[in-house]
Amino acid sequence: MDTVLSLGAVEAGGTTTDEFDALVAAYRPRVFRFLLASLRDRESAENLTQDCFLRAYRARDQFRGASSPATWLLQIAINLVRKHESNSRLKFWRRALRPGLSLEDLRDWIPDRQVTPEAAALANEKVQAIWRQVAQLSERQRTVFLLRFVEDLDLLEIAAATGMKEGTVKTHLFRALQSIRARLEVIK
Amino acid sequence: MNSHLSPPQISECFIGGAEPGIEQHVRECTHCQAELASLGDSLVRFRGAVECWSSHVERAEYQVVLRATPARSSYGSPRLAGISSLAVHAALVAVILFVGTFHPVQTLMKQQFTALELDLRPYLAQQKHAASEGGGGGGARQLADASKGKLPKPAPRQFTPPRVDPVEAKLQMPPSIIAPPDIANVPANNFGDPLSKVGIPSNGQGFAGGIGSGVGGGVGTGRGAGLGPGEGGGFGGGAYRIGGGISAPSVLFKVEPEYSEEARKAKWQGAVTLSVIVDELGRPKNVTVLRSLGLGLDQKAVEAVSQWRFKPGLKNGKPVPVFATIEVNFRLL
C-alpha cells in the first residue's frame, strides 16, 4: 500500500482527470482503511472517502507538494472524521441502531499465522481487545493511534496531517498506547 | 538499569525517541525484548486485520465507487442555475396561461369538466322556499281597513315602508316594497292597497309599518316587505320567481330582432334587458323593458321576444308562470 505516485503534475498545479484517477487508485484503499477503522461503519466510510477525494480534487491547485499526497489526503480525511463525529453526536438514535461495532467482521479477517490453536485464540483475543479499546479512545488519540500503527506514518507526518505539534502527537500516542497495553495486560 | 522497563517506558520505546539508556536496556534484557515483541506482534496483527478487512470490504464495490469519482469540479454557478430554473418555470406557467386564453381550449376544458359539476337541480327542486311566493303586509294597528291607493315603487330592497298619510320630512326617502318591477298598479295620489276599497285613509289593522292587515313593511295581508298574501319579498298570487324549487323557462323558438334604421345609421350597439312573464303555455306575457338602449331598439327587442316560445318553468313538475329576464344583444357586424 505504500505506492509512491509521481505527482509532478500535481505539484505543477495542472492535474488532469487521468492523473487524478491514478491518485485515487493509488491512495483510495489507504484513505478508506483509515476511515473505516475510525468510523467502523462501512457506509459512512465509503461516503467520506468520496467526500475526501472530491475535496482533494477541488483543492488540487492548493496542493503545493510540501507534504506527501498521502499525508495531504489523510489530513482531509481527518477533518472529515472530525466533522462527522460532531454531526453524528446529535444522531444518538443511529448510534443505538448501529450493529455492534463490526467486531465479528474483524474477527474473520485476523491473519492466522499461529502454529497452535491456543496461540491463535490468544492472538485473536488480543486483536479484539485492541479493537475494542480503540473504540474507547478519544477521537484525537484514536486518530493518532491509527495513523501510527495502521497507516504506519511517522511522528512528523502525523503532526503534519493532524495539524498538531510533534510533542502533542507524542503525548496522545503515549496515552493511547498506555490504555491499550492496560487492556492487553488484563488478557494476559 | 537492572530493573525491567516500566510500562510507560515500553510505550516510549514503541513511540520512538526514548532515552539512549532505555534503548540499551532493551538490547540487553530478553524479558523486556519479549515484552516489546509481544506488544509489537499484537499491533502488527491488529494492523493486518484492519487492512485485510478494509480491502475485502472495499473490493466489493471498488469498481462502482471508482467510477463515481468526480469528473467535474463544479456544475456551474448556483445563482445562474437558480435564475435559469426560475425562468424555465415562469415560461412554463406563462405558456399554460397563454394556451388557456384560447377559446377552443376553454370550450374543450368545459366539456371535459362538466362531469365534475354535479347537477344539483333535482335536489334543489325538492326544497321548498316560501320566498318564491312573495308577499307582504303591514299596518299601523288602525281600526279601519287599509284604504285604496297606489303602490310604492318596487325595489330590490326596502328602506322605508309606505304610509297612507304623507310623511313630513325635508329629505324624504321614497318608500318602496320588495316586488318585481312590473306589478300592476293603480293611479292614485296617495299610497294604499290597490286591492282595497276607497275609504277613510288608513294604514290598516296590521302592524310593523306598511299598509294592510299583515305584518311588516309591505302592502297587503302577508308578512314581510312585499305585496299580497305571501311571505317575504315579491308579491303573492302572481308569477313565480326562478329559484327555490322553480325551474327556469328555456327558449324553444327564437326570432332574431331586427335592427332599427336609426340605430343602424348611428352604428348603435348594446343590450336591452327585458322582463317577461312566461305563462304556463310558454308564451311571453307582460314584456317590459328593464334596461333601455334607445333608438327604437327597445321596441324591436320587445317585438321579437313577444314572438318567442318557451318551455315553461316548472314547479313540482307542473308548468307555472314564471318571471324571466331576457337580455337581447344588438351587435352590428
CB contact under 8 A, A150 and B14: no
- Min Cα separation A59/chain B (Å): 9
User: What does the block give as the cell for A169?
Assistant: 502527537
- The pTM for the full model equals 0.43
Give the pLDDT confidence score for residue B96 in this predicted structure: 92
Chain B neighbours among A 128-167 (CB < 8 Å)?
A: 130-131, 148-150, 152, 154-155
Report residue A36's pLDDT band, with 50, 70 and 90 as the boundaries. Answer: confident
Which residues lie closer than 8 Å to B30 by C-beta, 6 or more apart?
A: none
More confident residue, B125 or A154: A154
CB contact under 8 A, A177 and B15: yes
Please report, for residues A108, A128, A187, B264, the alpha-carbon distance to residue A121 in angstroms, rounded to integers and kept in the order given.
Answer: 12, 11, 12, 115
To the nearest 10°, the Cα dihedral for A174, A179, A183, A185?
50
Give the pLDDT confidence score for residue B98 in this predicted structure: 92
How many other C-beta atoms are found inside a 10 Å radius of the C-beta of residue A133? 18
Give the pLDDT confidence score for residue B97 in this predicted structure: 92
For residue B54, the chain A residues in CB contact (below 8 A) are 29, 32-33, 36-37
Is the pLDDT at A155 greater than 80, yes or no? yes
Q: What number of C-beta contacts closer than 8 Å exist between A and B?
A: 111
Give the pLDDT confidence score for residue A106 in this predicted structure: 60
The residues with which B309 forms a beta bridge, in sequence order, are: B253
Mean pLDDT calculated for residue range A31-42 = 83
- DSSP code, position B152: P
Q: Are strands B284-291 and B153-155 parallel, antiparallel or unpaired?
A: unpaired
Among residues A38, A23, A4, the alpha carbon closest in space to that of A162 is found at A38
Which residues lie closer than 8 Å to B305 by C-beta, 6 or more apart?
A: B257, B274, B276, B284, B287, B326, B328
Among residues B272, B302, B300, the alpha carbon closest in space to that of B287 is found at B302
Interchain CB contact of A170 with B (< 8 Å): yes
Among residues B195, B189, B192, B188, the alpha carbon closest in space to that of B177 is found at B192
User: What does the block give as the cell for B170?
Assistant: 325635508
Is the pLDDT at A114 greater than 80, yes or no? no
* Residue of chain B with shortest Cα separation from A146: B47
DSSP conformation letters of chain A: -------HHHHHT---HHHHHHHHHHHHHHHHHHHHHHH--HHHHHHHHHHHHHHHHHTGGG--SSS-HHHHHHHHHHHHHHHHHHHHTT-HHHHHHS-STTHHHHHHTS----SSHHHHHHHHHHHHHHHHHHHHS-HHHHHHHHHHHTS---HHHHHHHHT--HHHHHHHHHHHHHHHHHHHHHH-
Is the pLDDT at A112 greater than 50, yes or no? yes
Q: Which residues of chain B have pLDDT under 70?
A: 1-3, 16-18, 58-75, 112-136, 156-157, 180-184, 197, 199, 207-208, 216, 222-226, 228-245, 333
Q: How confident is the model over A55-66, as pLDDT tens digits?
A: 888 887 777 777
